[in-house]
Amino acid sequence: MTRARFGSALVVAVVIGGGGTACTAQQAASPERSADAPPAVVQVEKRSLTSTVVLSGTVVPSPGFLVEAPVAGQVAYTDRSAAGSSVDADHAIARVDGQPVVSPAPGTIAEMRAADATEVVSRIPIAVVSYRGFGVVVDVPVSEQYRLYEGAVTATVNVTGGPSGIGCQLVPPAQAPDTKESVGVLCLLPLDTAVASGLETKVGLNTGRRDDVLALPLQAVSGRAGQGRVSRVNHDGSRETVTVGLGLTDGVYIEIVSGLEAGDTVAGLPPGVG
The DSSP-derived string for the chain is --HHHHHHT-EEEEEETTEEEEEEHHHHHSPPPPTTSPPSEEE-EEEEEEEEEEEEEEEEES-EEEEE-SSSEEEEE-TT-STT-EE-TT-EEEEETTEEEE-SS-EEEEEE-S-TT-EE-TT-EEEEEEESSEEEEEEEEHHHHGGGTT--SEEEEEETTS--SEEEEEE-BSSPPSSTTEEEEEEE--TT----TT-EEEEEEEEEEEEEEEEEEGGG-B-SSEEEEEEEEPTTS-EEEEEEEEEEE-SSEEEEEES--TT-EEESS-TTT-
CATH 3.40.50.300 at 41-49+210-267, yes or no: no
CATH 2.40.50.100 at 64-131, yes or no: yes
Is the pLDDT score of 254 beyond 50? yes
Integer Cα distance of 150 and 16 in angstroms? 57
- What residue spans define the domains of the chain? 1-32, 41-49+210-267, 64-131
Give the residue, 135 or 82, on which the prediction is more confident. 135
| pTM for this model (two decimals) | 0.71
Is the pLDDT score of 90 beyond 60? yes
Is the pLDDT score of 25 beyond 60? no
pLDDT (0 to 100) of residue 19: 42
pLDDT (0 to 100) of residue 144: 77
Integer Cα distance of 150 and 140 in angstroms? 14
> Picking from 110-124, 135-149, 180-194, which range would have the lowest pLDDT averaged per residue?
135-149
pLDDT (0 to 100) of residue 207: 85
- Mean pLDDT across the chain: 84
Give the residue, 133 or 20, on which the prediction is more confident. 133
- Per residue in 228-245, pLDDT tens? 999 999 999 999 999 999
